[in-house]
Amino acid sequence: MLQYDVVIVGGGPIGLACAIAAQQKGLKYVVVEKGCLVNSIYGYPTNMTFFSTSEKLEIGNIPFVSNNNKPTRAEALEYYRRTAIAHQLNIQLFEPVTKIENKQHVFEITTTKQQYNAQFVIIATGFYDLPFLLNVPGEALPKVVHYYKDPHFYAMQQVLVVGAQNSAIDAALETYRKGAKVTLVIRGSEVGERVKYWVRPDVMNRIAEGAIKVYYNTTVKEILPTEVILQTPDGIETIPNDFVLALTGYQPNLQFLEDAGVTLSNDAIKKPTYNENTHETNVPNLFLAGVICGGMDTHSLFIENSRVHATAIIETIVGRLTLAH
Ligand X SMILES: Cc1cc2nc3c(=O)[nH]c(=O)nc-3n(C[C@H](O)[C@H](O)[C@H](O)COP(=O)(O)OP(=O)(O)OC[C@H]3O[C@@H](n4cnc5c(N)ncnc54)[C@H](O)[C@@H]3O)c2cc1C
Positions in the binding site for ligand X (CB under 6 A): 9-15, 32-35, 38-41, 44, 48, 50-52, 96-97, 124-126, 128-129, 167, 256, 290-291, 302-304
Which neighbouring-strand residues pair with 118?
4, 107
Fill in the DSSP letter of residue 16.
H
Rounded to 5 degrees, φ, ψ at 201 are: -60, -35
Give the start-end residues of each E strand in the chain.
2-9, 29-32, 91-92, 97-102, 107-111, 115-123, 130-131, 144-145, 158-162, 181-185, 213-215, 219-223, 227-232, 235-240, 243-246, 250-251, 286-288
Residue 14 or 160 with smaller CB distance to ligand X:
14
CA-wise closest residue to 19 among 124, 129, 126: 124
User: Based on C-alpha coordinates, what's the Rg of the chain?
Assistant: 22
Judge whether 191 and 199 are in contact, CB under 8 Å: no
3-state DSSP call for residue 20? helix
Q: CA 246, 248, 249, 250 torsion: positive or negative?
A: negative
Residue 40 or 281 with smaller CB distance to ligand X:
40
Residue 199 or 211 with smaller CB distance to ligand X:
199
* Separation between Cα atoms, residue 267 and residue 324, nearest integer Å: 38
Which amino acid does the sequence have at 166?
N
* Separation between Cα atoms, residue 268 and residue 165, nearest integer Å: 20
Q: CA 39, 35, 148, 140 torsion: positive or negative?
A: negative
Least separation in angstroms between CB 28 and ligand X: 19
Torsion of CA 111, 115, 117, 122, to 10 degrees: -10
Least separation in angstroms between CB 61 and ligand X: 16
Residue 55 or 237 with smaller CB distance to ligand X:
55
Least separation in angstroms between CB 238 and ligand X: 31
Least separation in angstroms between CB 170 and ligand X: 8
Residue 34 or 270 with smaller CB distance to ligand X:
34
Residue 64 or 243 with smaller CB distance to ligand X:
64
Residue 44 or 176 with smaller CB distance to ligand X:
44
CA-wise closest residue to 18 among 131, 118, 128, 130: 118
Residue 33 or 280 with smaller CB distance to ligand X:
33
